[in-house]
Amino acid sequence: MSLVTEGISVRFGGLMAIDDVSFTLEPGAIVGLIGPNGAGKTTLVNVLSGFQKPSAGEVRVDGRRLAGATPDAFARAGIARTFQAVRLFKRLSVSENLEVGLVANGLSRNLARERAKGLLAEFLPGDRAHMPAAALTYGEERKVGIARALALEPSYLLLDEPAAGMAAAEVEDLRGAIVRIHAAYGCGILVVEHNMALIFALCDRIHVLGSGRTLAIGSPEEISANATVREAYLGVSETVSA
């Protein structure tokens, strides 16, 4: 049981965005995906969620081959994701933003409303389900984006830069939310981030990309001490700070 890529490559014209990358996310694991800008992180997440067809290689979800399938097929297989841009429906209420996706996936309106209510109680303080999404703060928008993905009860949750643009207090709040998700739902969680403190605090294992290729895979301690990773990030032999 796992979300796996083997030998994934993605080419955009003459640019090789991903080059022979193999990756594994097991249920219950929290894996960080890091790398300098342009390393191929979001492209790999797009492959893992069906938004990008690979030029070569294989994607399997719990043994089922899905490379080249549509995003809705990936969602039905148990994969949910967030995006760097949250993309809420600003004219709908916060609850309706969750309900839309649930109804589209076959739930009745009543059941969708109840599930949305429960998730929002976990992610937002107070009774904010009926307020317009346009009234949310930036940090609240990002948490609603995570709740919307989690509403599908995925086996694998992919978070694409969830802390981007957040203040330190918001990042700490986000870290606590991810820990609670992990404890309550047991899904495999992939966290793509530039915030190294968050990655090192959360993750069991870290996968490092550089120029579309895997540079290293290991524990936070192993990655922090890895000379190849230090060179990719800093250009000098200094420890990557957690």
Give the pLDDT confidence of 42-101 residue by residue, as tens digits.
999 999 999 999 999 999 999 999 988 999 899 999 999 998 888 888 899 999 988 887
Going by pLDDT thresholds of 50, 70 and 90, the confidence category of residue 236 is very low
Q: How far apart are CA 19 and CA 55, in angstroms?
A: 10
User: Residue 146 has which token pair?
Assistant: 């995570």
Residue 238 clears pLDDT 50, i.e. is over it:
no
How many CB atoms neighbour CB 95 within 10 A? 21
pLDDT at residue 241, as a whole number:
55
Query: How much is the pTM?
Result: 0.89
Structural contact between residues 32 and 221, judged by C-beta atoms closer than 8 angstroms: no
Domains and CATH numbers, the chain: 3-88+136-234 (3.40.50.300)
pLDDT at residue 126, as a whole number:
67
pLDDT tens string 211-223: 999 999 999 999 9
pLDDT tens string 190-210: 999 999 999 999 999 999 999
